[in-house]
């Protein structure tokens, strides 16, 4: 069963079937690195690798995932007392910027996200009464599955270029998505990653700057989408 991220996915891929067939053969035997966290769906649903390191540019997101990994029992305890009502949702929304305790903030964010439209943490998602009855029980079960999947993953908050130096290893596999709004930072990253000894798979738009820098890489175009998938193997 596909695991779903509790937070909104910044995924430009709509289907995992587009990406997993392009992963290296036996990639689970390689050290897996994500220099700039980009897709919870890929991370949660790929096969486990011998070592997995995920880097975040956003400190709050890194903190959130470490809390889910290390303190899930506190999330579940809070779920057991929660209600699925618009009043409760508004209370979470109001406390979003006020909560000073980091763990409580992560727990509130989790609940706010799963109760909102498209996990946007803004607008209440109205459900039929039949679905609200067991909502938090199902969230607890989902959290247990997520916790089991991420328990051995290292979540870091470092500069991407510093982290990618570990890719000077042939037994590694790096996966990343390149967003056009970060194009200057992407160029610095690409200049480095071009010389990686490990296997690398990148997802980008059709911007010609990527084609120029990655012209020697294998490219797969996603039909009917403005997406290219690049790999150096």
**pLDDT tens across the length of the chain (233 residues):** 789 999 986 555 656 788 999 999 999 999 999 988 888 989 999 999 999 999 998 899 999 999 999 999 999 999 999 999 999 999 999 999 899 999 999 999 999 999 999 999 999 999 999 999 999 999 999 999 999 999 999 999 987 655 655 666 788 999 998 876 667 777 878 877 888 889 999 999 888 889 899 999 999 988 777 889 999 99
- Count of CB atoms within 10 A of residue 227's CB? 18
Residues 164 and 52 both lie in one domain: yes
Q: Find out whether 189 and 161 touch, Cβ atoms under 8 Å.
A: yes
Among candidate residues 125, 150, 175, the one where a domain is terminated: 150
Supply the CATH number for residue 34's domain.
3.40.50.150
Residues 224 and 110 both lie in one domain: no
The reply to whether 2 falls in a domain is no
- Count of CB atoms within 10 A of residue 14's CB? 11
Nearest in space to 12 (alpha carbons), one of 218, 135, 144, 178? 178
Residues 216 and 161 both lie in one domain: yes
Residues 80 and 135 both lie in one domain: yes
What is the rounded distance in angstroms from the CA atom of residue 111 to the CA atom of residue 109? Answer: 5
Query: What's phi and psi for 175, nearest 5 deg?
Result: -125, 135
Residues 82 and 138 both lie in one domain: yes
The reply to whether 217 falls in a domain is yes
Residues 83 and 28 both lie in one domain: no
Beta bridge partners of 199: 173
How, if at all, do strands 218-221 and 228-231 pair? antiparallel
E strand spans, 103-185: 153-156, 172-177
The reply to whether 133 falls in a domain is yes
The reply to whether 191 falls in a domain is yes
Residues 83 and 123 both lie in one domain: yes
Q: Find out whether 140 and 74 touch, Cβ atoms under 8 Å.
A: no
Residues 40 and 96 both lie in one domain: no
Report how many domains make up the chain: 2
Among candidate residues 150, 168, 197, the one where a domain is terminated: 150
Whole domain around residue 122: which residue ranges?
A: 76-150
Beta bridge partners of 31: 51, 172
Residue 43 tokens, joined = 């991370």
For Cα atoms 11, 149, 7, give the angle at the middle one, nearest 5 degrees: 35
What is the rounded distance in angstroms from the CA atom of residue 44 to the CA atom of residue 53? Answer: 13
What is the rounded distance in angstroms from the CA atom of residue 90 to the CA atom of residue 123? Answer: 9
The reply to whether 163 falls in a domain is yes
């Amino acid at each position: 069963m596909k695991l779903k991220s509790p937070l909104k996915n910044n995924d430009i891929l709509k289907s995992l079937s587009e990406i997993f067939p392009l992963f290296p053969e036996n990639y689970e035997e390689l050290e897996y690195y994500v220099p700039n966290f980009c897709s919870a769906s890929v991370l949660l649903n790929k096969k486990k690798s011998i070592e997995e390191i995920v880097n975040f540019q956003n400190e709050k997101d890194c903190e959130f995932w470490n809390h889910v990994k290390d303190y899930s029992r506190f999330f579940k305890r809070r779920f057991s007392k929660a209600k699925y009502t618009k009043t409760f949702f508004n209370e979470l929304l109001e406390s979003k910027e006020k909560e000073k305790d980091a763990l409580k903030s992560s727990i509130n964010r989790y609940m706010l996200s799963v109760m909102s439209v498209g996990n946007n943490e803004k607008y209440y998602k109205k459900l039929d009464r039949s679905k609200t009855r067991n909502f938090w029980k199902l969230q607890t079960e989902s959290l247990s599955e997520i916790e089991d999947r991420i328990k051995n993953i290292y979540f870091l908050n470092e500069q991407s270029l510093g982290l990618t130096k570990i890719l000077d290893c042939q037994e590694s596999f790096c996966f990343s998505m390149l967003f056009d709004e970060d194009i200057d930072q992407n160029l610095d990253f690409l200049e480095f990653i071009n010389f990686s000894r490990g296997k690398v798979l990148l997802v980008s738009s059709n911007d010609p700057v990527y084609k120029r820098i990655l012209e020697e890489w294998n490219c797969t175009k996603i039909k009917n989408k403005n997406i290219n998938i690049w790999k150096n193997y």
